[in-house]
Chains A and B, each alone.
Chain A
Amino acid sequence: MMQDYKYMLDAYAKAGGSPEAFKNSKVAHLVIHQNRVIGKHLVEGLDLKPKETASGIDIHLIVRKGAIIKYPVHLCFGVLPKEGIQEINIRARVEDDSGVKLLAHCVFPNAVRVVHKMNADIEVGNNSYYEYNEVHFHGFEGGVEVIPKAKIRVGNNSRLVTNFSLLKGRVGYFDLDYESEILDNSSLEMTVKIYGYSDDRIKIKEVGRLIGESSRGLIKSRVVVKDNAQSEIINELVASAKNARGHVDCIEVIQGNAKARAIPIVNVTHELAKVTHEAAIGRVSKKQIETLMARGLEEEKAVDLVVSGMLK
């Protein structure tokens, strides 16, 4: 167990996480290896009940009314062996007048045949915020299937932020499906950044429903695919309330024989609502590359700089 904990934190550090956070008593954390809880620490105002199941963990997370969790809650999910399955079911409730930021690192450093599924059901109350940042670190075999699904409801005067990034190691197969509903004066911001190569397959579907008056939504995707990788992105924003405003922003860069598809869907059903969108697929802009080359960078380094900036 202790050894697994150490290996998990090593992988966590490689994924860009800061293992020191797990020693800080002010920072809540949860470390899960496959279907075992190997580390847990709570802070006041936060209830976090993990329950081990045959193939993963069920997590019940509650941020109590009026509680603002000062430091991001650190989550580390992983599968260290070459093969395995991990199913994480999260039920999260952020009660009224409260807020929490979560920083989740999902690490599969040795994966040859690993499946990681996440099903999240999240409810954010009134005058509250919920920010979920998820960073993945996969090995270089491409043998990971990542299938995250989330349904999120956000109350009035609240804020939802989700950031997903998978930039280290092979993607493997990735199929994200997030759906959210936003009430009055609340905002939604969902961002996905992924770098796929070899024969990686990427599917992203993000839907935001701006059903509350003066609600706001931004869905943003940045995907780079090269070699024979393929990506398909569906970003949908629905605005059905007075003064609802939204924007869909999708950029995919392709290199080599990669294929990319973007489907922005904008659905407005109220005359005082407005949603805009922009989508671009193509190689890195020639002008960007030539600008950097005119400063002395080799073409390949210039492309890398543009791409790494976009995915930062």
Chain B
Amino acid sequence: MELLRVEKLSLNLEGRQILKDLSLSVKSGTIHSILGPNAAGKSSLAYVLIGCCDYNPQSGKIYFLGKDITGYPTQKRAKIGMTLAWQEPARFEGLTVKDYISVGIKENKPGLVEESLYRVLLEPKDYLDREVDKTLSGGERKRIELAAVFAMRPRLVILDEPDSGIDILALDNIVNMIKELRSQGTTVLLITHREEVSEIADKTSLMCSGFIVEEGTPEEVGKYFKEKCIPCPTHFYPAEKDKEKIKEKK
């Protein structure tokens, strides 16, 4: 079943075209990765999908469970089951980890906050009363963001570079948690620039210069990414190339 469909989405920011007629289909109960180099527009896509106020698409539609949600504000998207884990999550002075994780919890299940912290290898007794402020390291803050998503149990979570800032020892655990999200019924849209992270996906879309250039299994797309994208100069300086030019390189 299709959970999320994006049709010809275009986004311009400050005169620059970030997303170009981007289309995407995400099946329910899967991990769908968006793989692409830096500045491909991956995070912008995430912000458009969750409805951030500065990311209103100029054209295109977003459908969630068949319903057009293009005009929905962020909180309405959250209420129907979407959420986003930011690449660099915000800090909140005075707000405890317990309170922060509890914000998104809908079900009355005792111990869910603690369980979600265990999932990201954080000892609840050491973290529940800590503030989600600058005293947390980048990696700790990131794990708390993932714990909050886990506790929320959304239908669709967009994970924006969940591996960035996570140490190598915890990476396996994060990967397992993403798989666990899927097994608990959450569909994952996994945004990453690392093809080894993308490997856990059921399907991968390769993104470059604002549109999807290739789709397939993680192996197929990963191979394409390594062979074609990494040597490509636009990997570093994505230019205003049109889709045909990129397709020609294939």
A-to-B contact residues, CB < 8 Å: 222, 251, 285-288, 290-299, 302, 305-306, 308-312
Contact = CB atoms under 8 A, between A and B. Distances in A.
Nearest to A307: B94
B90 A291 contact: yes
Contact of B75 (A222, A285, A293, A312): A293
Nearest to B79: A296
A143 B2 CA distance: 61
Interface stretch (B5-13, B28-36, B81-89, B175-183): B81-89
Contacts of B90: 285, 287-288, 291
B78 A293 contact: yes
B148 interface: yes
A306 B89 CA distance: 14
Contacts of B159: none
Contacts of A285: 90
Interface in B85-110: 86, 89-95, 99, 103-104, 106
Interface of B: 50, 52-54, 73-75, 77-79, 82-84, 86, 89-95, 99, 103-104, 106, 131, 148, 152
A306 to B, nearest CB: 6
- Main secondary structure, interface of B, reads mixed
Given A290-B53, A291-B86, A295-B103, A306 B92 contact: yes
A298 B103 CA distance: 11
Most chain A beta carbons < 10 A, residue from B50, B95, B148: B95
A286 B78 CA distance: 17
Contacts of B52: 290
Most chain B beta carbons < 10 A, residue from A286, A287, A293, A306: A293
Contact of A295 (B54, B83, B94): B83
A295 B78 contact: yes
Contact of A296 (B78, B91, B93): B78
Contact of B94 (A290, A296, A297, A310): A310
A288 to B, nearest CB: 4
List 9 A-B pairs, minimum CB-CB distance, nearest first: A309-B94, A295-B104, A312-B94, A309-B95, A296-B78, A293-B74, A293-B75, A288-B90, A295-B103
A66 B99 CA distance: 41
A308 B95 CA distance: 8
Contacts of A306: 92, 95
Contacts of A286: 53-54
A213 B211 CA distance: 61
26 contacts: A285-B90, A286-B53, A287-B86, A288-B91, A290-B53, A290-B74, A291-B86, A292-B103, A293-B75, A294-B77, A294-B82, A294-B84, A295-B78, A295-B83, A295-B103, A296-B78, A296-B104, A297-B75, A297-B103, A305-B103, A306-B92, A309-B92, A309-B94, A309-B99, A310-B93, A310-B94
A16 to B, nearest CB: 16
B92 A294 contact: no
Contacts of B53: 286, 290
A297 B79 CA distance: 9
A296 B92 contact: no
Contacts of B78: 293-297
A268 to B, nearest CB: 24
A312 B99 CA distance: 13
Contacts of B91: 288
Given A294-B75, A296-B106, A296-B152, 4 more contacts: A286-B54, A287-B90, A295-B83, A297-B78
A309 B54 CA distance: 25
Contact of B93 (A287, A294, A295, A309): A309
A299 B89 CA distance: 18
A292 B86 CA distance: 11
A308 B94 contact: yes
Contacts of B77: 294
A292 B79 CA distance: 12
Nearest to A288: B90
Given A287-B86, A299-B75, A305-B103, A294 B50 contact: yes
Most chain A beta carbons < 10 A, residue from B73, B77, B86, B90: B90
A251 B77 CA distance: 31
Contacts of A305: 95, 103
Contacts of B74: 290, 293-294
Nearest to B131: A309
Contact of B73 (A291, A292, A293): A293
Nearest to B81: A296
Contacts of A288: 90-92
A179 B77 CA distance: 51
A305 B101 CA distance: 13
A295 B150 CA distance: 11
A184 B55 CA distance: 54
A202 B86 CA distance: 36
B94 A298 contact: no
B160 to A, nearest CB: 11
A111 B54 CA distance: 44
